[in-house]
């Protein structure tokens, strides 16, 4: 098995396959797994309940979400009776995942780029130069713009948001851990701006459709960061103390063709991201378990059609409601339209719907 990409999806798939007794090579283009993190790292309650994530690499639990209209006046506050979110230290989680994978028998090659597929092998380029690898199957865990998907002639993400955020330490205080969300199409067209403050770190970000930012995403982030809600009175850190992240976010829902005779896709490469909330860590872990099970069956039985059971069209049906809501949010193009939506959100049915989306 060749696994391309050492995000959570690639690491989890590789580990499960190695534990099943298979020979697994994992190639990751980053020389350091803590470099170029592209996710906020928000884990939802279902993930925390179902997967054994190292608690020492998770921030304090968050139960409170505040939704703001463009004016920032009369926000809607929702508080759950349960712990709903925790933000992971992704660099530490990637490192722990790599150590777990290696302990299971995975050979992890960092600083190694996947260059493409040949007639009977795959070309990798690493610190020691190019090398060819023969593998029965390849797993594309290489992100929203997957090269493995292209080489296997599988579906590729076409509906993408682009996001950027700043991450910095904040002093402990009396602030309750809170997820602040601002819906303003002039600031974050087609999505939202956010502040996640868990009492240890603040994540301040914006995301939207790249061609609809009035003066570019970076300027939008700078404007939002200067007056972000929930951080009043906190000293802004020096530039050297701010971690900057960014990247594409697939929001078209699960792709239909995510497997073929020679391999399959997991994580962002498969579109395993909620179309509405853009949360991807939970579906990436769940899809990775399904992928590992299908691949194990294929390797043990030798049946050429084994990967046909890994069907994105079947899984896509579970996102139908959120795909419809994504289309609705994409059509909100003016602050006036967003403000009108908040009039509905403030009603009991609107609050109930928001709680279902955010807490269920």
Q: What integer pLDDT is reported at residue 232 of this predicted model? A: 85
Position 100 pLDDT exceeds 90:
yes
Domain containing 266 equals 2-359
Q: What integer pLDDT is reported at residue 303 of this predicted model? A: 83
What is the spatial distance between Cα 293 and Cα 342, in angstroms, rounded to a whole number?
Answer: 43
Average pLDDT over residues 345-356: 95
Q: What integer pLDDT is reported at residue 108 of this predicted model? A: 98
Burial of 353 per CB tally in 10 Å (0-12, 13-18, 19+): middle
Q: Which long-range contacts does 297-306 make (Cβ < 8 Å, 24+ apart)?
A: 298/137, 299/1, 299/22, 299/136, 299/137, 304/261
Q: What integer pLDDT is reported at residue 155 of this predicted model? A: 97
Average pLDDT over residues 77-90: 96
How would DSSP label each residue in 6-51?
A: -SHHHHHHHHHHHHTT---EEEES-SSTTSS--S--EEEHHHHHHS
Q: How confident is the model at residue 237 (pLDDT cuts 50, 70, 90)?
A: confident
Average pLDDT over residues 62-69: 97
The enclosing domain of 345 has a CATH number of 3.50.50.60
Task: Report the number of distinct structural domains present in the chain.
Answer: 1
Q: What integer pLDDT is reported at residue 137 of this predicted model? A: 96
62: DSSP letter: B
What is the spatial distance between Cα 6 and Cα 4, in angstroms, rounded to a whole number?
Answer: 7
Q: What integer pLDDT is reported at residue 224 of this predicted model? A: 95
Q: What integer pLDDT is reported at residue 351 of this predicted model? A: 96
What would the pLDDT profile of 330-342 be if each residue is shown by its tens digit?
999 999 999 999 9
Q: Which residues pair with 96 in a beta bridge?
A: none
Average pLDDT over residues 248-253: 94
- Rounded to the nearest angstrom, the gap between the alpha carbon of residue 235 and the centroid of all alpha carbons in its chain is 29
Q: What integer pLDDT is reported at residue 38 of this predicted model? A: 85
pTM for the model stands at: 0.94
């Amino acid at each position: 098995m060749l696994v391309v990409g050492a995000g959570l999806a690639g690491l989890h798939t590789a580990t499960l396959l190695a534990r099943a007794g298979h020979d697994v090579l994992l190639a990751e283009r980053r020389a350091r797994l803590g470099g170029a993190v592209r996710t906020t790292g928000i884990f939802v309650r279902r993930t925390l309940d179902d997967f054994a994530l190292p608690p020492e690499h998770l921030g304090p639990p968050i139960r409170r979400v505040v939704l703001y209209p463009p004016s920032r006046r009369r926000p809607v506050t929702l508080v759950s009776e349960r712990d709903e979110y925790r933000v992971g230290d992704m660099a530490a989680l990637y490192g722990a995942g790599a150590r777990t994978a290696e302990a299971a028998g995975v050979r992890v090659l960092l600083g190694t780029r996947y260059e493409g597929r040949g007639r009977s092998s795959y070309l990798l380029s690493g610190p020691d130069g190019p090398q060819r690898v023969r593998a029965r199957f390849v797993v594309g865990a290489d992100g929203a713009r997957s090269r493995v998907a292209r080489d296997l002639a599988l579906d590729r993400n076409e509906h993408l948001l682009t996001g950027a955020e700043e991450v910095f330490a904040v002093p402990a205080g009396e602030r309750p851990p809170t997820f602040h969300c601002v819906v303003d199409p002039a600031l974050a067209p087609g999505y939202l701006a956010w502040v996640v403050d868990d009492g240890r770190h603040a994540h301040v970000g914006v995301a939207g459709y790249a061609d609809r930012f009035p003066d570019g995403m970076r300027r939008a982030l700078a404007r939002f960061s200067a007056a972000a809600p929930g951080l009043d009175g906190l000293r802004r850190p020096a530039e050297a103390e701010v971690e900057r992240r960014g990247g594409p976010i697939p929001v078209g829902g699960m792709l239909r063709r995510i497997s073929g005779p020679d391999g399959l896709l997991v994580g962002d490469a498969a579109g395993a991201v909620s179309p509405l909330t853009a949360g991807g860590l939970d579906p990436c872990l769940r899809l990775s378990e399904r992928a590992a099970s299908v691949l194990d069956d294929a390797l043990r039985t030798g049946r050429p059609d084994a990967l046909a059971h890994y069907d994105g069209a079947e899984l896509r049906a579970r996102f139908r409601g959120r795909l419809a809501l994504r289309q609705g949010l994409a059509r909100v193009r003016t602050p006036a339209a967003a403000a009108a939506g908040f009039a509905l959100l403030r009603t009991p049915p609107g609050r109930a719907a928001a709680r279902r989306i955010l807490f269920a």
